[in-house]
Structure 1
Amino acid sequence: MNKTVSIISASFNDEDHILATYESIQAQTFTDWEWIVTDDCSNDKTYELIKRISDNDPRVNISRNPANFGSAVSRNNSISRASGAYLAFIDSDDLWHPEKLERQLAFMGENISFTFTAYDLIDKTGNSLGKTVDLNQSGLFTYEDMLRKKATLGCSTVILRSETFPKLEMPMLRTGQDYATWLGLLRTGEVAYVLPEILTSYRILPGSISRNKVKKAKRQWQIYREVEGLRFFKSLECFLFYAWRAVFRK
């Protein structure tokens, strides 16, 4: 029976971190995986690094866009080449803890199709920022829950059962396409279960959208109105929940 995990990544100018990301995948206690990376026309040495990795590890499958199309196109390119029973996602500067895949697959068992975990934050050099996300969450999350951002649901923590989502494709957004994707999956009636264990370290880089609250808020509103097609007052209601949680969430 196919139990392979297809690990989906998009890379762009990640020469300082992508080797560490690969090493965190290579260190997994669950070893039946393939890492599918699409480089978004990096202009540093990222592609050369992943090419070298691929030459030495047959589980690594790489491709390169002819131009910089954005992470949605790159992730979809990677998804289209996946063959595993599960899809996992990791950004090309984040890190997995060694038991991440093993612990999360055991949690999913035979019945859960969509799961995510808690994570902690690190800086560009890998030092802890002393902050954890989704660690105090429990249970399951619906479409309405995630419209209101009751959980953060970090992309690099997600695992999906492939047969449940056979036509997965991320929307063509330059940023926030992962959140929009999760909403699309949950809109069908599926639910996302949280495993409240820190199994991923999310790297915060200077100048990233994760540091820019105004851009994040604009992206959130765009997804409500243009992607989900919510009416104005429904969008406003959800946005107020999102803003409150962004300010007061610990």
Structure 2
Amino acid sequence: MKFSVLVANFNNGKFFRDCYQSILSQTYTNWEVIILDDKSTDDSLQIIREIIGGDDRFRIFEHPQNEGVGVIKAKLIELATGDICGFVDPDDAILPKAIENAVAVFRNNPKTVLTYSRLMKCDKDLQHLQPSKSTKQIVNGDPYFFNCPIVVNHFVCFRRNIYLQTEKMNPELRISEDQDLYLKMYEKGNFKFINEINYLYRTHSGGISQNDNKKKSYEYWGKVIWDSMQRRGLKIIHSKKVPEKFNTSEEIFRLLEYQNSYFYRLKKKITAAIFSSSD
């Protein structure tokens, strides 16, 4: 199986060397790297090209204008030639067995369409801070799964041929494009949790999830969830009517408040444990 590492860059060239070295350190060697720059306003492209040199396993593209991560990540998947794809942000890194661990699951589980693992939160210098705690095996085939609260997280890998059978990523999304991808893939097959830390997530002032985009992310995420409700034909959720038109994210998240209850989450934990042990 060929693996495509997909890198969407915007002004993060200064962090790319760690990402680059982590890819070179992979124990699995049948990979390619596709980099698409979203019209960076700094010297990112020059830095990235100098780091890569003449290594033809890396292919670099420059988007003609800045259009946001939804457009860039959708085009990265189109540019990929691998059987399995996985996004790695240019300011993050993956551990040496990350790709090998994912490919092994896909080889052994034909019904698995997406894998995810645990991540380590790091400081701006990629020094470890704390591992993720919320990530765990989810229940597959649940029409009311919306990854809310977030369980599926980096390092996410997926079958490219299955993705191409979906409605594909919404190019209008500038944030929450990952949630859009996860929910569409979830409707096509099983997710498998790899209980290892495979991803190093760098926190810094320029990161999308650490700045003022958090509020905007909430808005986009609500729309992504509503779209999923429509695709799944859901009219009622926990005795509440699903709105026929999207109005606000608050309205959508209110429908899912019951999923935060202790008993609901306990039930899901038990069911997921049973699923995982029988898989």
Q: Residue in 1 aligned with 2:169?
A: 170
Using the TM superposition, give the Cα deviation of residue 236 of structure 1 relative to its aligned residue in structure 2, in angstroms.
2.2
Indicate if the aligned counterparts of 2:12 and 2:90 stay in contact, CA closer than 8 A: yes
Give the corresponding residue for 2:20. Answer: 22
What is residue 224 of structure 2 aligned with on the other side? 223
Decide which structure has the larger Cα Rg and report it: 2
Relative distance call for 1:54 and 1:184 in structure 2 (3 A) is: same
Distance 1:185 1:42, change over 3 A: same
Return the alpha-carbon distance in structure 1 between the equivalents of residues 133 and 46 of structure 2: 33
| Equivalent runs, 1:33-44 vs 2, <5 Å | 33-44=31-42
Matched-pair contact (CA < 8 Å) for 2:113–2:185: no
Partner of 2:255: 237
Could you tell me which amino acid in structure 1 is paired with residue 79 of structure 2?
Answer: R
3-state SS of 1:109 partner: helix
Cα distance in 2 for partners of 1:242, 1:35 equals 38
Q: Which residue of 1 aligns with 2:122?
A: 122
Query: Which one of the candidate residues 30, 37, 41 is aligned to 1:32?
Result: 30
The yes-or-no answer on 1:51 pairing with 2:49 is: yes
Paired residue type of 2:20: Y
Tell me the percent identity: 24
Cα drift, residue 50 of structure 1? 2.3
Deviation, 1:163, is 2.8
Of 108-117 and 28-37, deviating more is 108-117
- What is the one-letter code of the residue matched to 1:87? C
Question: Match for 1:45: what amino acid?
Answer: D
- Cα offset, 1:107, TM superposition: 2.6
User: Aligned with 1:113: secondary structure?
Assistant: strand
Q: CA RMSD in A?
A: 2.6
Cα distance in 1 for residues equivalent to 2:40 and 2:217? 24
Deviates more, 1:161-170 or 1:75-84: 161-170
**Matching residue of 2:268:** none
Contact map agreement 1:143 1:191 (CA 8 A) in 2: no
Tell me by how many angstroms 1:92 deviates.
1.3
1:11 deviation in Å?
0.2
For structure 2, the 5+ residue unaligned runs are 235-241, 244-250, 263-279
* Per-residue Cα deviation, 1:2-50 (whole angstroms, up to 9, x for no partner): x110111100000221121111111101011000010001111211122
Q: Is structure 2 residue 220 aligned with structure 1 residue 203?
A: no
Q: In 2, distance between residues paired with 1:227 and 1:144?
A: 9
Q: Distance in 2 between matches of 1:129 and 1:31?
A: 29
Q: Which residue matches 2:2? A: 4
TM-score using structure 1 length: 0.84
How far apart in 2 are the matches of 1:237 and 1:129?
34
Partner of 1:185: 185
Counterparts in 2 of 1:9 and 1:133: CA distance versus 1, 3 Å: farther
TM-score by length of 2: 0.76
How far off is 1:226 after superposition? 5.3
Distance 2:8 2:125 in 1: 20
* Equivalent pair of 1:8/1:89 in contact (CA under 8 Å): yes
Contact 1:122 1:202 in 2 (8 A): yes
Count how many residue pairs are aligned between Structure 1 and Structure 2: 239
Sort the Cα spacing of 1:139 and 1:219 in 2 relative to 1 into closer, same or farther, 3 A. closer
CA pair 93-239 structure 1, distance change in 2 beyond 3 A = farther
How far does residue 148 in structure 1 lie from its aligned partner after superposition? 4.7
Q: Who is 1:248 aligned against?
A: none
> What 5-or-longer segments of structure 1 have no aligned partner?
245-250
Match of 1:71 among 65, 69, 72: 69
Aligned residue for 2:86, secondary structure, equals strand
